[in-house]
A and B are shown apart, each in its own frame.
Chain A
Amino acid sequence: SQELEQSPQSLIVQEGKNLTINCTSSKTLYGLYWYKQKYGEGLIFLMMLQKGGEEKSHEKITAKLDEKKQQSSLHITASQPSHAGIYLCGADINDYKLSFGAGTTVTVRA
């Protein structure tokens, strides 16, 4: 079973619309990472959140960490074709090991 649950599994969004991806942990989160992956390629680091309530933004992507809920969300504003890909959350569950969610596939329709 996955220690990190991502939802939704996939989503299709019209270009220009907003989208949100959630990542919920079954264990206490000490650090939460968001990555983006193009199919069959490596992961690109987006953001890391460490403290409860922390929120970070980069360009049109915002990530938040709710420590009490053991949950993080990734929000993309005014989506563009370049936002298409697989988004994965990863967490420091065990020493020197990242556990990952199953990923959310984002399709942006023109």
Chain B
Amino acid sequence: KAGVTQTPRYLIKTRGQQVTLSCSPISGHRSVSWYQQTPGQGLQFLFEYFSETQRNKGNFPGRFSGRQFSNSRSEMNVSTLELGDSALYLCASSLGGGEGTDTQYFGPGTRLTVL
């Protein structure tokens, strides 16, 4: 099976712009989670989607949003970019459907640089 794919792999934006990142989960996986990784804060949970519904959300401002499509593919959007949004954004997929969290498999990430 193909792994989790994320596009684009690298992105450079300027402050105030918005950006959309895409994630395609492993075939058959219905849960997609997004994380932000920075040297200072480490790996921080953004949100999780299952069957097009957001089930959990991390402590991030409303500028960060996401959605999931009927084919389980997911996108996350960051509006009004700030310098502090520069980070590696990781997407992870899992089967979902059970109680609690099951094993998540990560994509290679999207490196976002905000100038």
Contacts and interface: CB of A to CB of B under 8 A. Distances in A.
Contact of A100 (B43, B50, B103, B105): B43
Contact of A43 (B50, B55, B100, B106): B106
Given A40-B111, A103-B42, A95 B106 contact: no
Contact of A33 (B96, B103, B111): B103
Interface residue tally on B, bucketed by range: 20 to 34
B105 A45 contact: yes
B90 interface: yes
Contact of A96 (B55, B105, B107): B55
A42 B92 CA distance: 9
A31 B101 contact: yes
Given A40-B88, A42-B107, A92-B101, A98 B33 contact: yes
Chain A contact residues: over half helix, strand or loop, or mixed?
Answer: strand
B25 interface: no
A42 B111 contact: no
A2 B101 contact: no
Interface in A48-92: 48, 88, 90, 92
Given A2-B42, A33-B103, A95-B101, 13 more contacts: A41-B108, A41-B109, A43-B90, A90-B43, A95-B56, A96-B48, A96-B50, A97-B48, A97-B56, A98-B45, A98-B101, A100-B42, A100-B43
Contact of B55 (A40, A42, A95): A95
Contacts of A100: 35, 42-43
Contacts of B50: 96
